[in-house]
Amino acid sequence: MVLVVTEQREGVLKKAAYEALLVGFGLARQKSEQPVAAVLGSGVSGLAERVVRFGVKEVVTLDDAVLEHYTSEAYSAAVADLAIDRGFTTVLFAATALGKDLASAVAARLETRLLQDCVVVELQDGAMVARRPVFAGKAIASVRAPDTGRTVVSIRPRAFDPQTQTEKSAEIVSAELKPLELRSRVAEIVRSVSETVELTEADVVVSGGRGMKGSENFGMLEELAKAVGAAVGASRAAVDAGWRDHQDQVGQTGKVVAPTVYIACGISGAIQHLVGMINSKCIVAVNKDAEANILKVADYGIVGDVFKVVPLLTDEFRKTPRA
Ligand SMILES: Cc1cc2nc3c(=O)[nH]c(=O)nc-3n(C[C@H](O)[C@H](O)[C@H](O)COP(=O)(O)OP(=O)(O)OC[C@H]3O[C@@H](n4cnc5c(N)ncnc54)[C@H](O)[C@@H]3O)c2cc1C
């Protein structure tokens, strides 16, 4: 039996949750089943109604004030108890920062194996076989879980086309949280001040590297981002220089993004950066060095000075109405 834990933030389902549902459907179908979805949080009944429409067999809500803010302690206890009580053999998450944290805590509680950050998951002769990028994406590991016991899996965001919504219906069942003695609680959430879209959810990402020469020049990228409705990312060199916050970093030790369009400005294309954006549908690179590695992976390469090219691009995009 397959349980898909659908991730939400402030009452909005993450795009990656739909991808996890899609994988859940694929696995369940191979067993002639339908997956069950779980929605966790406080005041999440409206969300459950939305998940129902994806054609799951059932939506289990774990709605409790204790789950208002994410803590791995409370969330992992809730999911692990649900998996044990209902006998789920596969528990799926989206491999977001939260999902990876939660998946590992759930696997530890269930004392079982964890297949993290998978790009392919299927059943072969009854056993789960997954593929996951390793060594900064230079290789893909094929891992096979035994066909007995439980398996916890997280799905790399943007590796799958999200499940399309249907008008199906399913039962919504509420599950009670068992009494918990929590050792941690969220005291305060400090939001980053950003007017742009969240990096991993954005359809377009404009990223800057060392070639931007200083934090003050990222204003130019913010303008371009505003013109195309993009989020702003950065290479590690720009982050290490203190020009951007670490949460903007794209790459091996930053975030993995796969937007429809990724615009790299003044970024050389080191492997540790590429691993974070190589699955973007269309890569545009602006670099003054025609030999830069990023131009080898770009669909559109502009050899030129970012300080000349970026304002021109911004002006052009401003003239073009967005679809
Ligand atoms: C363990 C490890 C983990 C790492 N993790 C990450 C990671 O998560 N993300 C990441 O990004 N890096 C990561 N790195 C660092 C990575 O190896 C590179 O050092 C880094 O990506 C380089 O950043 P950059 O492309 O901005 O800078 P550079 O490599 O210095 O490139 C700057 C580019 O800007 C161009 N340029 C300069 N001036 C202009 C101009 N005026 N107009 C146009 N182009 C111009 C240059 O031609 C050059 O190509 C990691 C490294 C290690 C060892």
pLDDT digits (tens, 9 = 90+) for 40-94: 999 998 889 888 888 889 999 999 999 999 999 999 999 999 999 999 999 999 9
Number of separate domains in the chain: 2
Looking at residues 115-143, what average pLDDT do you find?
A: 90
- Residue 151 domain flag: yes
User: Does residue 10 share a domain with residue 154?
Assistant: yes
> Does residue 292 line the site of ligand 1, with CB under 6 A?
yes
| 54 vs 30, higher pLDDT | 30
Q: Which of 268, 283, 310 is the pocket-test mutation for ligand 1 (most atoms within 8 Å of CB)? A: 268
> pLDDT-derived band of residue 157, with 50, 70 and 90 as boundaries?
confident
Regarding whether 47 and 139 lie in a shared domain, the answer is yes
Q: Is 281 among the domain residues?
A: yes
- Closest C-alpha residue for ligand 1 atom 36: 211
**Could you give the C-alpha distances from 272 to 10, 209, 254, 275, 281, in angstroms and in order?**
32, 13, 9, 6, 19
CB neighbourhood size of 152 (10 A): 29
Instruction: State whether 212 and 166 are in the same domain.
Output: no
Distance of CA 207 to the CA centre of its chain: 18
pLDDT exceeds 80 at position 196: no
Domain presence at residue 44 = yes
Domain co-membership, 170 together with 204: no
Same domain, yes or no, for 147 and 215?
A: no
Round to whole Å and give the CA distance between 178 and 170: 25
| Cα of 269 from ligand 1 centre, angstroms | 6
Looking at residue 311, its pLDDT comes to 97
Say whether both 159 and 218 belong to one domain: no
Report CA(282)–ligand 1 centroid distance (Å). 19
Q: Which of 116-125, 153-162, 242-251 has the lowest mean pLDDT?
A: 153-162
Same domain, 270 and 169: no
Q: Which of 138, 220, 236, when mutated, tests ligand 1's pocket best, judged by the most ligand atoms within 8 Å of its CB?
A: 236
Measured by CA distance, the residue closest to atom 38 of ligand 1 is: 211
Same domain, 253 and 209: yes
Residues 18 and 93 in one domain: yes
Q: Answer whether residue 203 is part of any domain.
A: yes
301 within ligand 1 shell (Cβ under 6 A): no
Note whether 224 and 266 are within 8 A (CB).
no
Same-domain pairing of 162 and 214: no
Domain assignment of residue 102, given as a range: 2-174
How many C-beta atoms lie closer than 10 Å to residue 175's C-beta? 17
As a whole number, mean pLDDT of residues 163-192 equals: 82
Quick check: CB of 293 below 6 Å from ligand 1?
no
Q: What is the pTM of this model?
A: 0.78
User: Which pLDDT value is given to residue 37?
Assistant: 96
* Nearest alpha carbon to residue 90 among 59, 121, 119, 125: 121
